Amino acid sequence: MKPALALLLLAVQAPAVKPAAADLPRGKVVEKVVCAAAPQESYALYLPSGYTPDRAWPILYVLDPRSRGTVAAESFRQGAEKYGYILASSNNTLSDTAIDPNVQAMRAMWADTHGRLAIDDRRVYAAGFSGTVRSCCTLARAVPGTFAGIIGAGAGFPFHEPPKKGDPFVFFGTVGDKDFNYYEMMDLEPRLREAGITHRVEIFDGVHQWPPEELATRALGWMEIQAMKAGTRPKDSGVIEELWGQTLGHARAAEAAGDLFQAHRYYAGAAADFAGLRDTSEAAAKATALAANPALQKEWKEREARLKRDKEMLEQAPGILAAAVGPGSEPTTVARVVAALKIHELRAQAKNAPEADERLSAQRMLNTIGVQAGYYLPQSFNEKKQWDRSIFVLSIATEISPERPAVWYDRAEAYARKGDRKRALADLRQAIDTGWKDLDALRQNEAFAPLRQDPEYQRLTAALEPRKPKP
């Protein structure tokens, strides 16, 4: 179903009889609310402590890329309580697939929440992580005015559909400084600016993930400011001054630490965000002064050169991998591919480079190559039952991140599916030695069924059993 048609049907999907909301607890995340009109769909729900049906409340619909409704809701719970948002976080949304599951989940949540709860339709927001950010943008464009704003974690707009003038929502982006989508998010910022879309993109210390709770709370605070500017929320001087002080506090802390790049982003952001709500001359003046600072100008140039270099290196990686495992590829070895990708050099740089920015740069490149070798390519090969190719790229992933238990576990699974019991057990042992703890996943994975009577497999699983306390 086309997204536009799907969203146009939202209004008629509400249950004929409203399910009661009185029995839903306030101030805690309810892990599973089943949609009355679509029982195959469910969502985690958070109602602020002060929620009553006597007035309409803003709502944030959250689309997690792995159907982890509660995990995603917990990221925003603190902010939802602070600013009075309802959270509805789907247990059915997915990334790296067609948009259909996300359209269905959104329709079901929309209908169910509008049937149960008092919602301010002028203040409906969506949050996505990774591929579900793209789904949020597609849905928001399908019916302009449906979503007032989008919070995008670790990804931006749909591929080949960049921001454009007239996009009917504001955008708050977050990205970890070691995220493999960091480059995308840095490229997104000027495109948002050129399209005239009100936006903020925040960088935090982290990888590819939902933003930390503190930043997720700030994202909702930013939406409060935008609602005041749009006239969909009464102006509140207390909230304005608190958020203004918070933003300037971050700016001053970054400046004091010598991080002029981040300090300028905070000052310039404050000047733009609070314009029309309070005097912003202090932030504007600081942003202007920093922009004229030779040290920051030098940092901007170095940063642009580093990003350009990184992207040029990363553009070569798909060709190197395709030459090794693509159709008609010539026989090669893991060692040769690892050398061509400069994995060992990047690992050394990530650990030992004198400059922090160079260490981050190397780690981002490793993470970017690693997600291809450790996730997307083996996933594709596994679907085609091409176990040798899956094992090959996962072997590259073990060179990129030997400390990650998941790559050893995934390669163990590929070996098991191929029928190589000895190597499957060796990789399972390595996965456990590096921190794999999910005994339930191991037991439920049918790939390992042929190994279950093996004494070594039994020893490995026994090591994962919870230890009973001594009497």
Tell me the three state secondary structure of residue 174.
strand
Alpha carbon distances (Å) from 362 to 180, 249, 350: 11, 30, 5
> Residue 8 — very low, low, confident or very high, per pLDDT cuts 50/70/90?
very low
Q: In what order do the strands lie in the sheet with 38-46?
A: 29-35, 38-46, 86-90, 57-63, 119-129, 149-153, 170-176, 199-204
CA–CA gap between residue 182 and residue 361 (Å, rounded):
10
Pairing verdict, β 29-35 and 38-46: antiparallel
Per-residue pLDDT, 23: 82
**Amino acid in the structure at residue 417:** R
Mean pLDDT, residues 326-352: 94
**E strand or H helix that includes residue 390:** helix 387-400
Whether the CB-CB separation of 114 and 53 falls below 8 Å is answered with no
pLDDT tens for residues 48-79? 999 999 999 999 999 999 999 999 999 999 99
Q: At 2, is the pLDDT very low, low, confident or very high (cuts 50, 70, 90)?
A: very low
More confident: 17 or 460 = 460
The whole-number pLDDT of residue 326 equals 86
Structure confidence by residue, pLDDT tens digits, 345-378: 999 999 999 999 999 999 999 999 999 999 999 9
Instruction: Give pLDDT, residue 18.
Output: 52
| Top-confidence residue, 7 or 34 | 34
Amino acid identity, position 20:
A
**pLDDT of 116 above 60:** yes
Neighbour-count burial of 333, counting CB atoms closer than 10 A to its CB (0-12 exposed, 13-18 middle, 19+ buried): exposed
Mean pLDDT calculated for residue range 225-241: 97
Average pLDDT for 214-241:
98
- Whether 246 shows a pLDDT value over 50: the answer reads yes
pLDDT score of 115: 95
pLDDT of residue 13: 43
Using the predicted structure, report yes or no on whether residue 5 has a pLDDT greater than 50.
Answer: no
**What pLDDT is attached to residue 21?**
61
What's the pLDDT score for residue 469?
Answer: 58
Q: Which pLDDT band holds residue 16 (cuts at 50, 70, 90)?
A: very low
Mean pLDDT across 163-191: 97
Reported as a single tens digit per residue, the pLDDT across 261-280 is: 999 999 999 999 999 999 99
Range scoring the smallest mean pLDDT among 191-195, 329-333, 341-345? 329-333
CB distance 207 to 256 below 8 Å: no
Q: What is the dihedral sign for C-alpha 407, 408, 413, 419?
A: positive
Residue of 19 and 55 predicted with greater confidence: 55
* pLDDT given at position 96: 85
Q: Round to whole Å and give the CA distance between 421 and 162.
A: 47
Query: pLDDT tens across 277-325, in order?
Result: 999 999 999 999 999 999 999 999 999 999 999 999 999 999 999 999 9
Taking the CA of residue 151 as centre, how many other CA atoms within 13 Å lie in the half-sphere pointing to its CB?
A: 30
Mean pLDDT calculated for residue range 226-247: 97
Residue 405: pLDDT band (50, 70, 90) is: very high
